[in-house]
Chains A and B, each alone.
Chain A
Amino acid sequence: MAQLDVREKLEILADAAKYDASCASSGTAKRSSAGQKDGIGSTEGMGICHAYAPDGRCISLLKILLTNSCIFDCHYCINRKSSNVRRARFTAKEVVDLTLAFYRRNYIEGLFLSSGIIRSSDYTMEQIVEVARSLREDHGFRGYIHLKTIPDADPLLLEAAGRHADRLSINIELPTVAGLARLAPEKDSTRIEGAMGALKSSIEDGRDAVKRYRSAPSFAPAGQSTQMIVGADAATDRDIVGRAASLYDRHQLRRVYYSAFSPIPDASTVLPLKRPPLMREHRLYQSDWMMRFYGYRPQEIAAAADPASGMLPLDIDPKLAWALRFRESFPVDVNRAPREALLRVPGLGVKAVDAILATRRWRRLRLEDVARLTRGIAKLRPFLIAADWRPVALADSADPLPQAAAPREQLELFAA
């Protein structure tokens, strides 16, 4: 095979990585190059999206695979060994040079490196770690590094990965164990979760050490995340929310990413036969948000789903869906209700709720006061009592709000 130049490799290996949903570069330790003799880069806690693609996703990191060759054959994956995509492989140096060249021009916040598995898990992980090591040690790179780790790899390699990286992630791949067994039979959910558990304790140990000894090396200061594919198997939203909640609890993940399955059968030039379920993905992110910031328990989100199908409505957001199912909890008095109750009002975000609470010390809020603190009042009115406003009780009113429309069933690509 003719040698590919770096640009051709980049084309193949960026394309191969684009199905991974995670891209955030936030939440790591602060670093700076100010006053340093050499090296480059900084992180300031908040990640920066340096560009947006027409698919609406942000580009924050150089997100590529080291190679898209893989000894595994997971059905949902474009890089599975039976796929006919063009294969390419970067050297560690090529990735390092690309990252630095892009970083110097302010195109990116850093690198997100993943890889197909070649030869063995250890060999592949070694290559991934070598890129991060070289960036940090040979080039003094202080930007963000996110490494995808391989669950089976030697713990020493994972240790090294955590020393160099800001964030580590292990993909849970599919929301149910049955789905994983069917679509990725060579992967094993027990091993995956075992590796997540090990990472969790390394991260905790690292935090602890940094607290005690200033010179202790940090271990993945931005924590660990995971990704699951939505829409490749028959898992319901209720299954997915439950799985995500248990992952957050058990392994203290920073984020669970949901990636709508693009049923792209083969080469990247062939589009899927069906658009990926983007709205479903969006609703799952909203439900994730509800768990992390609004204090909903996973069972409550499950209760917002359709009882028969277990799916969240696609036409309304899950917070509104919950409110419509539990109408007895509304309306809520903006001038009296506790924070937790206000957070459940559809259309009120965390910022608006905090602003309402601060304002209550100064005045009794009227509807127009609430309007100044939020994006729009129309959606809120049926759920709120204000100084000058009392809605007809929701439970008594004829349905004033959109109801779940026609049944929505997602087709399964690998339906038996």
Chain B
Amino acid sequence: MPLVRLDAEDDSDGWRAAARALALAEIPPDRISWQVGDAPADLFADAPGPLPPPVAGAQFGVPRRFVDLAESVILHSDPQRFSLLYAMLMRLRREPGLIGDEADPLLRRLEDLAKSVRRDIHKMRAFLRFREAPDDDGEPRFIAWFEPEHHILRANAGFFVRRFATMRWSILTPRGSLHWDGDTVLEGPPASREDAPEGDPIEAVWKTYYGSTFNPARLKIDMMTKEMPRKYWKNMPETALVPGLIAAAQRRESQMIATAHAAPPVHANAAKALEALREEGAHCTRCPLWKPATQTVFGEGPADARLMFVGEQPGDQEDLAGHPFVGPAGQLFDRALAEAGVDRAAAYVTNAVKHFKFERRGKRRIHERPNAGEITACRWWIDQERQIVKPALTVALGATAAHSLLGKAVTLSKLRGAPIALPDGSEGWVTVHPSFLLRLPDEARRAEEYAAFVTDLRRIGERVAALA
């Protein structure tokens, strides 16, 4: 059995020369034994001898695709690759077009080997990590330790030269090493991991980036390991973070579920954000109400208030003063709050609509109810106030406020007196607007409704305390 000795695992020129000579001499595939360097030969192989003498004038061509395929396959670590390729070559001599028969089992096997090599080449380009270390002359050199699966080191050198041409670098692998000085690639012997330096300070910065760019809401561990198999992890600094990131994501998620309705944290920025919003609101022209009104009457109160009251819209006095709930209804509201034992100073008080809408009758400006379009236009502001303040409980005073809070017209009497779950997870309540009490002509009815209003406020106060 003829024995062919190749110079190196990736000696594709050697294989081609030998394969051509053997094929011309019509030596069948199963009669040849392929060996690399001094590796022990097949038990039944002959001693390496000269290749068959060249056949005079004999030439044969193979399809370009086979040449490319062979170049990739030879880099594979499967020892059978040489004879598989030779078998394919023998078949293609008779019928070169067979290279197009994609379903052929031998071609598929070779394609699979080539694919695995291409993947290994790609992963080396992706996952190799340089560390900076000073050279003998004090100049920086970038050194990487990588463990390829196949014999791809030499074939992959060009990529690193093209990319890092002006850097000095070394790539160390168990199969050999490459050294670039800005001019030529020198090949070196196999290395071990200890030959590569440790501790590049940029590694910590890179890990910071890796940890921050991960979105814990989208855990997809299978996707990650499919593209970045664990065998590469040990030489990639950032992968040390993976178990921690996964564990923390799951922990944060279960904590979030457990505390979904607990009080949100109070943020120092809220007051600033609210101030900016107020400033912006002063120039609001989202609906035509800004034209006749004197000014925007924005909400007031602590930015971290746990309780928010939403009224309908500013009245005549509020419009002039620029503050919510300062007119007759506001005074009644204050009295009711005091009786109910609710501290107004701790609550955020605002209106569903921020501009005074009125009808002029002689010298008086008579309040006019805002329509659905105006309520919707102004929801922009109230939504943002609620997002910043994040009250645990929001009270809509009157039907207009309830419309704004719930996004649709509702019947007050049906919803009054019970908590309503709001989409953001907080709680909503509805009750009457204090101006409704002022408008009741019948004294007895007024006293009755006032008492009911105070009762509502008391329950709301208790509920806020309970939510704390």
Q: Write the residues of chain A forming the contact surface with B, with a CB cutoff of 8 angstroms.
A: 6-7, 10-12, 14-15, 17-19, 32-42, 44, 48-59, 62-64, 73, 81-84, 98, 101-102, 104-107, 185, 260, 262, 264-267, 269-273, 275-276, 278, 355-356, 358-359, 361-363, 365, 369-370, 372-373, 413-416
- Would B223 and A39 count as touching, CB distance under 8 A? no
Please tell me which stretch of B102-110, B327-335, B346-354, B358-366 contacts chain A, meaning at least 4 of its Cβ atoms lie within 8 angstroms of it: B102-110
Residue in B97, B163, B212 whose CB lies within 8 Å of A42: B163
Q: B130 at interface (Cβ–Cβ under 8 A)?
A: yes
Closest to A87 in B: B269
CA distance A41 to B252 in the complex (A): 39
In the complex, chain B residues whose CB is within 8 Å of the CB of A56: 218, 220-224
Give the one of A73, A82, A355, A415 with max B CB within 10 A. Answer: A82
Please give the distance in Å from B224's CB to the nearest CB on chain A. Answer: 4
Closest to B102 in A: A355
Which residues B235-278 have CB closer than 8 A to chain A? 236, 238-239, 242, 245-246, 249, 252-253, 256, 260, 264-265, 267, 269-270, 273, 276-277
Please tell me which stretch of B4-12, B17-25, B200-208 contacts chain A, meaning at least 4 of its Cβ atoms lie within 8 angstroms of it: B200-208
Interface string of B264-297 (1 = CB under 8 A from A): 1101011001001100000000000000000000
- Would A32 and B165 count as touching, CB distance under 8 A? yes
Q: B423 at interface (Cβ–Cβ under 8 A)?
A: yes
A-B contact pairs, 25 of them (CB 8 A): A10-B209, A15-B213, A34-B165, A36-B165, A44-B159, A50-B126, A53-B214, A53-B215, A54-B245, A56-B218, A59-B210, A62-B209, A84-B269, A101-B205, A102-B202, A105-B131, A105-B142, A105-B203, A106-B128, A106-B164, A270-B264, A271-B252, A369-B103, A372-B105, A415-B407
- Would A51 and B238 count as touching, CB distance under 8 A? yes
Known A63-B213, A355-B103; judge A50-B166 contact (CB<8 A): no
Known A10-B205, A101-B205; judge A48-B126 contact (CB<8 A): yes
- Interface residue SS majority, chain B: helix
CA distance A260 to B217 in the complex (A): 10
Q: B227 at interface (Cβ–Cβ under 8 A)?
A: yes
CA distance A357 to B403 in the complex (A): 63
- Would B227 and A278 count as touching, CB distance under 8 A? no
- Interface residue SS majority, chain A: loop
Please give the distance in Å from B93's CB to the nearest CB on chain A. Answer: 17
In the complex, chain A residues whose CB is within 8 Å of the CB of B127: 50-51
Please tell me which stretch of B28-36, B191-199, B380-388, B433-441 contacts chain A, meaning at least 4 of its Cβ atoms lie within 8 angstroms of it: B380-388
Residue in A58, A98, A104, A359 whose CB lies within 8 Å of B142: A104
Closest to B222 in A: A56
Residue in A36, A275, A359 whose CB lies within 8 Å of B166: A36
Known: A33-B164, A262-B215, A270-B264. 17 other contacts (CB 8 A): A7-B205, A11-B208, A14-B208, A34-B161, A40-B164, A40-B165, A40-B166, A44-B159, A51-B239, A64-B209, A82-B388, A104-B167, A272-B217, A273-B260, A278-B220, A373-B108, A415-B407
CA distance A270 to B205 in the complex (A): 23
Known A10-B212, A54-B245; judge A416-B221 contact (CB<8 A): no
Closest to B260 in A: A273
CA distance A19 to B211 in the complex (A): 14
CA distance A359 to B221 in the complex (A): 38
- Would A269 and B252 count as touching, CB distance under 8 A? yes
